[in-house]
Amino acid sequence: MSPIPPIDRRQLIQYGGAFLGTSLMATVLGNQIVSNPKVQAQTINQTPQELLNQLMEGNGRFSEQRRLKANQDFNRLTEVAQGQNPFAAILSCADSRVPPEIIFDQGLGDLFICRIAGNVATPQEVGSLEFGTLVLGAKVLMVLGHQGCGAVKAAMDGGELPGQIGSVIKKIDIGSVTDDNSNAASVTMATKANVEHQMAVLKQSSVLSELMAEEKLTIVGAYYNLGSGIVTLL
């Protein structure tokens, strides 16, 4: 019998669960990724819903100015240097006013974050989030939009944009919103519509959809209020 040829990682991600179950895929993809049993044990028996609650409780602490700032000391630094097992993944806007670790009161190694203007699910972002969930074990995947998003306003405005900015803006979907972007309520509606659209894009991933079917992952949308610091699930 001839030896089995090595499996190309890019092909695995491309074809997802069509040929391999997520457990085997995670093993193959993660065979060179160091997990930290101590860190993993903190969440391994928790459900996606329980971990989502944990994430939202952190935002409650932040918005009420009672942050614990857990997992931010030198001991945590050395602990996660041995391997990572984030409990949640976040597709967030690159806006400097929306730092996920801070607004969810989390620390080193807790969150796997992809940040891009307009929190758009490009192929690269989807691939990264597949890795963060399938291989690293994040059980919550949140698409996080926010108040006054400049990228959403640009999508509402239309027109040509310089450089590669337009390549990002064209991936934003504002739904049926047509009002001028100076209308705050319309911008909010467009932002939430875009979050829903990006969630739909993520759910087209065979990797993510299989994790959801196995109840190993939940995908949620959320909206962050810049003034209050409150994250609301959509």
Q: Note the pLDDT tens digit of each residue in 191-207.
A: 999 999 999 999 999 99
Q: Is residue 183 part of a domain?
A: yes
CATH of the domain at 61: 3.40.1050.10
Residue 30's pLDDT is 54
Residue 40's pLDDT is 72
Which residue segment(s) compose the domain that 41 sits in? 34-233
CA distance 144 to 137: 19
pTM attached to this predicted model: 0.86
Give 5's pLDDT tier (boundaries 50, 70, 90).
Answer: very low
Q: Is residue 19 part of a domain?
A: no
Residue 32's pLDDT is 47
Give 13's pLDDT tier (boundaries 50, 70, 90).
Answer: very low
Q: Is residue 160 part of a domain?
A: yes
Average pLDDT of 15-20?
46
Q: Is residue 223 part of a domain?
A: yes
Residue 57 predicted with pLDDT over 80: yes
Residue 15 predicted with pLDDT over 70: no
Residue 10 predicted with pLDDT over 70: no
Q: Is residue 100 part of a domain?
A: yes
Residue 208 predicted with pLDDT over 60: yes
Q: Tell me if 77 sits within 8 A of 108, measured CB to CB.
A: yes
Q: Is residue 23 part of a domain?
A: no
Total domains present in the chain: 1
Residue 9 predicted with pLDDT over 60: no
Q: Is residue 206 part of a domain?
A: yes
Give 179's pLDDT tier (boundaries 50, 70, 90).
Answer: confident
Q: Is residue 3 part of a domain?
A: no
